[in-house]
Amino acid sequence: MESYATALPPDVFADSRGRFESLVAMLSGAEAAASTHGDLEERLHTDGMVLLRGLLQDHLSLRAVQEQRVDAITGSDGVVRTRAERGRTRALATVFGEVEVERIVYRAPGAPGLNPADMALSLPREKHSHGLRRRAAVEAVRGSFDDARAAIARSCGSAPGKRQVEELVQRAAMDVDDFYRHQRPEPAEADTLLVLTFDAKGIVMLPAHLREATRRNAARKDAAGGQRLASRLSSGEKRGRKRMAEVAALDDAHPVARTPLDIIPATALDREDKVKGPVATGKWVTASVRDSCKDVVATVFDEAERRDPDHARTWVVLVDGAQHQLEVIRAEAEHRKVTVHIVCDIVHVIEYVWKAAWSFFPPGDLAAEAWVGEQTRRILAGKPIKVAAAIRQKATMAGLAPAKRAGADKCADYLHAKAPYLDYGKALTAGWPIATGIVEGACRYLVKDRMDITGARWSLTGAEAVLKLRAVHASGDFDAYWQYHLQREHLRVHTIRYRDQLALAA
């Protein structure tokens, strides 16, 4: 093995030392003494970034000088590369600014070159560093891509273009599914509930990225003359521009037995004595606009089986009552031979009871609230069918016209249709949760707060990447995920290219 160079320069960090001494001199002088702390912050941030970029460049230059040439490098393709080309450079955009990486490239005729120094530095395939990619991943889940680019520019002095930020985010999200497949949750006791919740939320997509059925429906409406009014949608019209994102959550919870009065207190004393419901721990959320409801349900069942491989725990599934979703959940449970207890979200039920109330009470009538509370407590006691019958009878006895009794009939129809999933008496006695608050919150955080920005039109890949990263953040796993992602990147970009490293890739 021969040396890359016979001698080192006197001091590759000389320029950086000079910049540092210049900063120290400035801070020691009259200029700094007359400055406000804000002025000093701005000056140090600007000059400090230049200093840090210089230090990184100096270190990379030192590594280039110290790199040793070897006789041959064998790639995973079996080709031996014996020709070494010194001084080959590539640009690297970092959080401190752009630097140049110089290294030896090993070549053979008809084969791509190999750069062992790139593997030692774990350089990315693209120009932008992992530090910039991480910042893009963090900032893009908070706000728009334009906002992410501006935030990166503020902290780094410069930033990639908007399109490049989108690409970095997509690259950053590519290992999320694989990361969770390799997670091994802490084991829970057999009496700990396993709670699965499901929901869906629409995202406005670019026309080419809508689901096929949505595109066909929109095309039919356009062929029939489009929307009736030019400036807004009429009652019952939909734009046909959204694609549903399937959102789900899973958590562990110890059962807490309750009564209907703990959910809907009747008196002030009931409110003081009410028992709080089960507390979620080990929360994990996921979302996808690419995958179908069936795919997402299967993913959540996979996670549930990782936590309870022997099906020894009680599985509680909370839903809003969508029929297709119920059918998918039941089919998945049957396929895996696991017993699930499906419960409709009590909040959705209460909304239907309020619709019924407005058939009987004028708007703002305080008696409506008391009536809703009474009917809800009866439903919580396990009597949804009786409540439905009483509501219909009340509407009939009052002689309400069809339009006036529509809310009452909708409520009764809902209670009848979902009765198998409204056994709140059993759920409360067993200590199960009965509300989908976790997944409702996930829908707001994962989808509405970020994806529903005014004017946003999403591509499928962009929306999927942001959803995945927001889900990782919501689950509290981002730091662990990022380390996993960097390991996978090193494997993809470097390790598998070298024959001697194939054992590490296996």
Residue 209 and residue 84 share a domain: no
Question: Please, which pLDDT band fits residue 10 given cuts at 50, 70 and 90?
Answer: low
Residue 203 and residue 105 share a domain: no
Torsion on CA atoms 250, 256, 261, 265, rounded to nearest 10: -70
Q: Is residue 83 part of a domain?
A: yes
Q: Please tell me whether the overall predicted TM-score, pTM, comes out greater than 0.75 for this model.
A: yes
Residue 414 and residue 273 share a domain: yes
Residue 8 has a pLDDT of 52
Structural domain harbouring 101: 2-123
pLDDT by residue (tens digit) across 308-330?
A: 999 999 999 999 888 999 999 99
**Percent of the chain scoring above 90 in pLDDT:** 73
Q: How far is CA 74 from CA 366, 496, 497, in A?
A: 82, 12, 9
pLDDT by residue (tens digit) across 366-422?
A: 999 999 999 999 999 999 999 999 999 999 999 999 999 999 999 999 999 999 999
Q: Is residue 378 part of a domain?
A: yes
Q: Is residue 339 part of a domain?
A: yes
Residue 352 and residue 206 share a domain: yes
| Last residue in a domain, options 428, 444, 460 | 444
Q: Is residue 43 part of a domain?
A: yes
Residue 290 and residue 404 share a domain: yes
Rounded Cα–Cα distance for residues 442 and 437 (Å): 8
Q: Is residue 401 part of a domain?
A: yes
Bridge partners, residue 281, by sequence: 252
Residue 443 has a pLDDT of 84
CB 421 within 8 A of CB 342: yes
Show the tokens assigned to 505: 């890739």
Question: Please, which pLDDT band fits residue 236 given cuts at 50, 70 and 90?
Answer: very low
Residue 394 and residue 305 share a domain: yes
Rounded Cα–Cα distance for residues 20 and 32 (Å): 15
Residue 345 and residue 266 share a domain: yes
Q: Is residue 502 part of a domain?
A: no
Average pLDDT, the chain: 89
Show the tokens assigned to 430: 């067993």
Residue 90 and residue 12 share a domain: yes
| Last residue in a domain, options 108, 123, 138 | 123
Q: Is residue 359 part of a domain?
A: yes
pLDDT by residue (tens digit) across 106-154?
A: 999 999 999 999 999 999 999 999 999 999 999 988 888 999 999 999 8
Nearest residue to 313 via CA among 185, 475, 476: 185
As for how many domains the chain has, the answer is 2
| Last residue in a domain, options 400, 423, 444 | 444
CB 198 within 8 A of CB 325: yes
Q: Is residue 470 part of a domain?
A: no
Residue 384 and residue 277 share a domain: yes
CB 201 within 8 A of CB 470: no
Residue-wise DSSP of 167-213: HHHHHHTTTHHHHHHT--PPP--TTSEEEEEEEEEEEEB-GGGS-HH
Residue 401 and residue 326 share a domain: yes
Q: Is 479 helix (H, G, I), strand (E, B) or coil?
A: helix
Q: How would you classify the pairing of strands 2-3 and 68-69?
A: antiparallel
What's the mean pLDDT in 205-221?
A: 75
Show the tokens assigned to 15: 């320029």
CB 65 within 8 A of CB 9: yes
Rounded Cα–Cα distance for residues 305 and 194 (Å): 10
Residue 195 and residue 99 share a domain: no
Residue 245 and residue 107 share a domain: no
CB 191 within 8 A of CB 255: yes
